[in-house]
Amino acid sequence: MNARISARELYDQQLERLALRWVAGRGGASRVLEAVDTVARRPSLAGYLNIIYPNRVQILGTEELAWLDALDSRLRWETIEKIIQFRPLALVISKGQPCPEDLRIAAEENDTPLWISPRRGHELLNHLHYHLARKLAPRVTLHGVFMEIYSIGVLITGESGSGKSELALELVTRGHRLVADDAPEFTQIAPDVLDGTCPDLLQDLLEVRGLGVLNVRQMFGDTAVKRNKYLRLIVHLTQPSLQAEPGGIERITGDLGLRQVLDLDVPTIVLPVMPGRNLAVLTEAATRTHILRANGVDPAAAFMARHSHFLERGNAGDA
């Protein structure tokens, strides 16, 4: 299902921040903008008045209104008709400027939302474009527990009963933070960024078998939970019967891979769940190792280079 937003929702969400005032076209409150392919290209989600590639939300600043005023009456009316016929989600006049009467009439007759804001044009552009981009960005819900571990976002996945929630609870007691349990939502807010959040229904909650639903914020305090985090690593728990014994290079590098989430490949490490293994310590170690690799330090590669150098020295000595 495509993400979507109506004119009414956009107005309500930005009412206080942009001090919006609805002056005409209230009948268009249900007008909807959907996240379809054309949103990623021209026209833009929000921008200054554009007749060639009309933006989804058209902003009329001082220059745009002055340009309209410079047109003769016939051309001005034809231009206003074009603006309305493009069916923008809304028209927004910046800096609290008076609304031209002919524009107000046209918006009212065609149910085109027309708003006025005291904010400057570039403020409107930045806020509206950022807000719409996030609301309409590609998103997906994954099964797992999303945590902040050593300041990076780590998604713990695995089959039902593999111990994800117990591991998350132990990590929380070790000072890490819970973002979302069971169904974290991930939104691609930039070409290389996945932002993970928690559904409102599950906020602050962690379900542990035998204990039921726990409120992490009430148990451990406000610092034990986090509202959102960028996804950087996936730790996948697997039962030994489902995982072949690692051998060869995996014994050195670990069981590393990539998992595609939306359009991004996220680094993944597989941890077998076996009696006696401290998964919290292993998850912390996996996170620290990922941070080292991201900074250009790879212990496995350094060991293999050291081993090759040792063999070369031995061969040189034999010669």
pLDDT at 78: 93
Determine the pLDDT at residue 297.
Answer: 83
Q: Tell me: the pLDDT tens digits for 307-318? A: 777 777 766 665
pLDDT digits (tens, 9 = 90+) for 260-305: 998 899 999 999 888 888 999 999 999 999 999 888 887 777 777 7
Q: Which of 56, 139, 164, 226 is catalytic?
A: 164
What single-letter amino acid sits at 47?
Answer: G
State the catalytic residue, choosing from 182, 195, 226, 290. 182
Total-model pTM: 0.75
Which of 122, 143, 174, 306 is flagged as catalytic? 143
**pLDDT tens figures, 87-105:** 999 999 999 999 999 999 9
164 labelled catalytic: yes
Cβ 32 vs Cβ 113: under 8 Å: no
Q: What is the pLDDT of residue 36?
A: 63
Q: What is the pLDDT of residue 37?
A: 43
* Residue-averaged pLDDT of the chain: 88
CA atoms within 13 A on the CB side of 65: 20
pLDDT at position 157 is 95
Active-site residue, 131 included: no
pLDDT at 210: 87
**How far is the C-alpha of 23 from the C-alpha of 47, rounded, in Å?**
20
Q: Which of 270, 271, 234, 267 is nearest to 147 (CA)?
A: 234
Q: Of these residues, 134, 251, 288, 313, which one is catalytic? A: 251
Given this model, what pLDDT does residue 274 score? 84
pLDDT at 277: 85
Which domains does the chain possess? 4-132 (3.40.1390.20), 139-304 (3.40.50.300)
Known catalytic residue at 143: yes
Residue 42: the pLDDT is 54
Helices 121-135 and 7-18 meet at what angle, rounded to 10? 130
β-bridge partners, 154: 147, 233
With a CB cutoff of 8 Å and minimum separation 6, the contacts of 219 are: none
Q: Per DSSP, what are the bridge partners of residue 231?
A: 153
pLDDT for 39 beyond 50: no
- The answer to whether 35 and 138 are in contact (CB under 8 A) is yes
Residue 69 known to be catalytic: no
Share of the chain above pLDDT 70, in %: 90
